[in-house]
Amino acid sequence: KAGVTQTPRYLIKTRGQQVTLSCSPISGHRSVSWYQQTPGQGLQFLFEYFSETQRNKGNFPGRFSGRQFSNSRSEMNVSTLELGDSALYLCASSPLRGPEQYFGPGTRLTVT
Amino acid sequence: AQSVSQHNHHVILSEAASLELGCNYSYGGTVNLFWYVQYPGQHLQLLLKYFSGDPLVKGIKGFEAEFIKSKFSFNLRKPSVQWSDTAEYFCAVNAAAGTYKYIFGTGTRLKVLA
Residue B1 has pLDDT above 80, yes or no: no
Separation between Cα atoms, residue B11 and residue B13, nearest integer Å: 7
Task: Look at residue B109 in the predicted model and tell me its pLDDT.
Answer: 95
Task: Look at residue B76 in the predicted model and tell me its pLDDT.
Answer: 97
Task: Look at residue B99 in the predicted model and tell me its pLDDT.
Answer: 67
B46 vs A contacts (CB less than 8 Å): 100-102
Closest CA to A68 of A100, A108, A102, A30: A30
Residues of chain B by 3-state class (helix, strand, coil), percent to 5: 10, 55, 40
| Closest residue, chain A, to B104 (C-alpha) | A43
Residue B28 has pLDDT above 90, yes or no: no
Task: Look at residue A35 in the predicted model and tell me its pLDDT.
Answer: 96
- As a whole number, the mean pLDDT across chain B is 92
| From B96, B102, B105, residue closest to A101, measured CB to CB | B102
Chain-chain contact of A58 with B34 (C-beta, under 8 angstroms): no
- Cα of A57 to nearest chain B Cα, Å: 7
More confident: B51 or A69: A69
B27: contact with A, CB 8 A cutoff: no
Chain-chain contact of B101 with A102 (C-beta, under 8 angstroms): no
Task: Look at residue B98 in the predicted model and tell me its pLDDT.
Answer: 66
Q: Looking at this protein, which amino acid is placed at residue B55? A: P
| Closest residue, chain B, to A37 (C-alpha) | B106
- Cα of A105 to nearest chain B Cα, Å: 5
B40: contact with A, CB 8 A cutoff: no
- Cα of A90 to nearest chain B Cα, Å: 9
Contact (Cβ atoms closer than 8 angstroms) between residue B83 and residue B39: no
Reading chain A (112 residues) residue by residue, the pLDDT tens digits are 689 999 999 999 999 999 999 999 999 999 999 999 998 788 999 999 999 999 989 999 999 999 999 999 999 999 999 999 999 999 999 988 778 899 999 999 999 9
Give the bridge partners for B10, in sequence order. Answer: B109
B99: contact with A, CB 8 A cutoff: yes
- Cα of B105 to nearest chain A Cα, Å: 7
Task: Look at residue B27 in the predicted model and tell me its pLDDT.
Answer: 84
Q: How many degrees, rounded to 5, is the angle at CA A87 between CA A85 and CA A89?
A: 105
| Residues in Cβ contact with B12 at an 8 Å cutoff, skipping those fewer than 6 apart | B110, B111, B112, B113
Residue B81 has pLDDT above 90, yes or no: yes
Query: Where does chain B have alpha helices with state H?
Result: none
pLDDT above 90 covers a percentage of chain B that reads 78
Work out the average pLDDT over B90-110. Answer: 86
A48: contact with B, CB 8 A cutoff: yes
Task: Look at residue A71 in the predicted model and tell me its pLDDT.
Answer: 94
